[in-house]
Amino acid sequence: MKKRTAIGAVVLSVLAGIGIVGCQQSEISESLVTIDVKADYPEKELTLQDFMEVEYIPLETNDEFITQGSVKAIGRDYLVVTNRINDGNIYMFDRKTGKGVRKINRMGQGAEEYAFINGIVLDEDNGEMFVNSASMKKIFVYDLQGNFKRSFNHAEGAEYLEVYDYDKDNLICYDMSLYYKDGEKRENKFYHALISKQDGSVTRGIPIPFDIVKAPFVQKGDMVAVSAVRSITPYRENWLLVETSSDTVYLYTSAKGKLTPFLVKKSTTEPEVMLSMGVVTDRYYFMQAIEKVFNFEKGRGFPSSDLMYDKQEAAVFKPVVFNADNDKRVELVMHPEGGEIASFQSLSADQLVEGYQNNELKGRLKEIAGRLNEESNPVIMLVKHKK
């Protein structure tokens, strides 16, 4: 099972046999699901357990393992989390029991140390983890005990903010330096790519067709606000690739190295609306429409709305998904995962304790909450595809 977490991309070779660069957007749209991101869709309520499986992992709490529970990677054996503050701590918990295994901190200014953790890729098969420090434009590689093994720089001119585990030899990533060229003609043949786990060199480029750069940010004078539009979304063993400069979302098939159109966003005029992909199941496509608007005086912007395409009904809805164990809404856009795990959510201990005291919890979650106090570490909820 591949496990992922965010880090980047670069430029070198062109993916052969893609056969789509010359396609016109209208030709692609005719045979694909088209999402009108400015339409007003009806709500549809779903119960999570009706179409997904749920697993809860209570993170052990002791003097050494006290964490805010920001999940960075989920493997077969380990669950890797950090704090939301930049303290450099990396906590490794047992994937099945939630018991604390070890705490690692290699933050610093030395040659073997990171300045900031933007993402962690866990590679249990090779016994390694990759820590991206974007401010240093560098990826640090450690073994699972925290010992330094090697590091490599982001490619010249590239900035990696999204990186995921692709296979035993490669990472898949995106070069967001493209965003600095908003309104300009593209310069590179591709911005999604596979890079070597050994030295960061590009092993395969994945070109997505577009001409003019449309970046997910709003600028006013010297002020810039950037929206979070995911450019790589794990989809079981494959990948959904989004380029904000294109209206088409592409499916990249790992086994064949093949890129094909997956769905199309109906083109928008000012203000532009961007599309970010979330969890995709056999029946439902969860996604988010993000309006390219920001109010610098109020410090707020990029209004968004969750959308869901229902394949069975061939219709789009505003999804309202509830967890049957606590009757709370579940978010299925922000944290998509690959393999058997579709997504995750961090449940705070204080809210679970309150729910337990008010007799609002059921099943395994009620059992876990009964052993917590308000100062306990979070409980990690894994949302998994049904077998």
Q: Which domains does the chain have, with CATH numbers?
A: 25-385 (2.130.10)
In tens, the pLDDT along 75-109 reads 999 999 999 999 999 999 999 999 999 999 999 99
In tens, the pLDDT along 28-45 reads 445 789 999 999 999 999
Query: 268 is written with which tokens?
Result: 């928008």
In tens, the pLDDT along 317-366 reads 999 999 999 999 999 999 999 999 999 999 999 999 999 999 999 999 99
Give CA–CA dist 3/387, Å, rounded.
18
pTM for the full predicted model = 0.90
Look up tokens 């309104």; give the residue.
Answer: 183
Specify the length of the chain in residues. 387
Question: Residue 7: is its pLDDT beyond 60?
Answer: no
Alpha helices, DSSP H, located in 267-313:
none
Beta carbons within 8 Å of 131's beta carbon, 6+ residues apart: 90, 106, 114, 117, 119, 120, 139, 140, 141, 142
Give CA–CA dist 236/257, Å, rounded.
15
Query: 176 is written with which tokens?
Result: 């967001």
Mean pLDDT score, 122-128:
97
pLDDT (0 to 100) of residue 156:
86
pLDDT (0 to 100) of residue 30:
52
End-to-end CA distance of the chain, in Å? 14
Question: Residue 222: is its pLDDT beyond 60?
Answer: yes
Beta bridge partners of 107: 114
Helices and strands (H and E) in the chain: how many: 3, 29
